[in-house]
Amino acid sequence: MQPDLTDQILELVRLTSTDLPSDVEEKLRKSKDQEAEGSAAEGALDTILKNVEMAREKSTPICQDTGTPIFYITYPEGWSTRKLSAQIKDAVIQATAKAYLRPNSVNSVTGKNTGDNSGDEHYPSLHFQEGGGDELIIELILKGGGCENVSTQYKLPDGSLTAGRDLDGVRKTVLDAVVKAQGKGCAPGVLGVAIGGDRGSSYAASKEALLRQLDDKNPDPILAELEEKITRQANQLDIGPMGFRGKTTVLGTKVKNLHRLPASYFVSIAYMCWAFRRRRMIYQSGEVEYQ
Ligand code: SF4
């Protein structure tokens, strides 16, 4: 029988909101060491890291904006997605009552806040897919509003950027997005990039790209090279942490390649702020593991 995992999902939400993943924290520490001693960039990263430690210690949110909860659920054959949805939504409401999440869900027409992060069928954002195994995997990203506002989409070719329908055109659009995000979106950021698809699938895939570990390598050598190049060149823009200038503008770039129509060539950029809150829960045979 399918278990009730509301408590376990509540713990996933708490961890995601209050305990930055180790790969992100490690990258922030390395970046701080690379900045000039006494610089504003070093100071900004130092403050960020102190904040990360305090949030973990006190089990309080890493940032006042706890973001849009976006769940990616891979479920075993035969499980009810209706029951899983109800458990996730209940866990989000409980997490809000415990102040792990800020009440962020607002009716777009009336402006009324539901007060508990309940919402319509799109809030919280739930993405289900059936897996081949007997484990349930729930991945959660809390996507801040400021960094979501600077996420964007381009249509190639783009004459204003002299960006053609090729990987160099992709590179130019992503760097343009980073330049336009400066002073907003709380750098250093992480770039999820999708090449191709339709407008909707492209945006969705750019967010999925953020599920990868910061220190992994794209198995496609062409995309791996593109990721490395974009990260390097973005860090040469001298935007720096929180826009204070410096060597750390982005922590990493993750690219997904989607099939597309010959008529369209979209590039979507999911800009994630330094508060890169993403966690994973694996449930199998009654045991739960958090990563
Ligand atoms: S963009 Fe990120 S770090 Fe900045 S306020 Fe929003 S959630 Fe917080």
- CATH number of the CATH domain containing 85: 3.30.360
Residues 92, 175 share a domain: no
In a domain, 38, yes or no: no
In a domain, 69, yes or no: yes
CA separation, residue 116 to residues 76, 86, 91, 125 (Å)? 29, 14, 11, 15
> Residues 45-71: what's their mean pLDDT?
98
Taking CA atoms only, the protein residue closest to ligand 1 atom 7 is 144
Residues 152, 132 share a domain: no
pLDDT in tens, 96-123: 999 999 999 999 999 999 999 999 999 9
Residues 211, 110 share a domain: no
Q: State which ligand 1 atom lies nearest to the alpha carbon of 147.
A: 1
29: Cβ contacts below 8 Å, ≥ 6 apart: 49
Quote the number of domains for the chain: 2
pTM recorded for the entire structure: 0.96
Q: State which ligand 1 atom lies nearest to the alpha carbon of 148.
A: 1
Residues 259, 180 share a domain: yes
Answer whether 290's CB lies under 8 Å from 218's CB: no
pLDDT at site 35: 97
Asked whether residue 90 carries a pLDDT value surpassing 90, the answer given is yes
Domain of residue 82, residue span: 6-16+62-144+277-290
Answer whether 63's CB lies under 8 Å from 144's CB: yes
Task: Quote the CA–CA distance of 231 and 170 in Å, as a whole number.
Answer: 13
> Residues 126-155: what's their mean pLDDT?
97
> Residues 190-203: what's their mean pLDDT?
98
Residues 137, 12 share a domain: yes
In a domain, 134, yes or no: yes
How many A from CA of 274 to the centre of ligand 1?
A: 8
Residues 135, 79 share a domain: yes
Residues 154, 199 share a domain: yes
Helices (H) and strands (E) counted in the chain, each on its own, are 8, 9
In a domain, 27, yes or no: no
In a domain, 55, yes or no: no
Answer whether 145's CB lies under 8 Å from 271's CB: no
Residues 198, 86 share a domain: no
In a domain, 43, yes or no: no
pLDDT in tens, 148-188: 999 999 999 999 999 999 999 999 999 999 999 998 999 99
Backbone φ, ψ for residue 195 (5° rounding): -110, 125
pLDDT at site 207: 98
pLDDT in tens, 15-38: 999 999 999 999 999 999 999 999
pLDDT at site 289: 98
- Mean per-residue pLDDT over the chain, rounded: 97
Task: Quote the CA–CA distance of 159 and 163 in Å, as a whole number.
Answer: 6
How many A from CA of 63 to the centre of ligand 1?
A: 6
Residues 263, 140 share a domain: no
How many A from CA of 185 to the centre of ligand 1?
A: 6
Residues 265, 152 share a domain: yes
> Residues 204-212: what's their mean pLDDT?
98
Residues 151, 140 share a domain: no
In a domain, 267, yes or no: yes
Residues 187, 135 share a domain: no
Asked whether residue 1 carries a pLDDT value surpassing 90, the answer given is no
> Residues 79-94: what's their mean pLDDT?
98
Pocket of ligand 1 (CB under 6 A): 63, 65, 67, 144-147, 185-186, 273-275
In a domain, 104, yes or no: yes
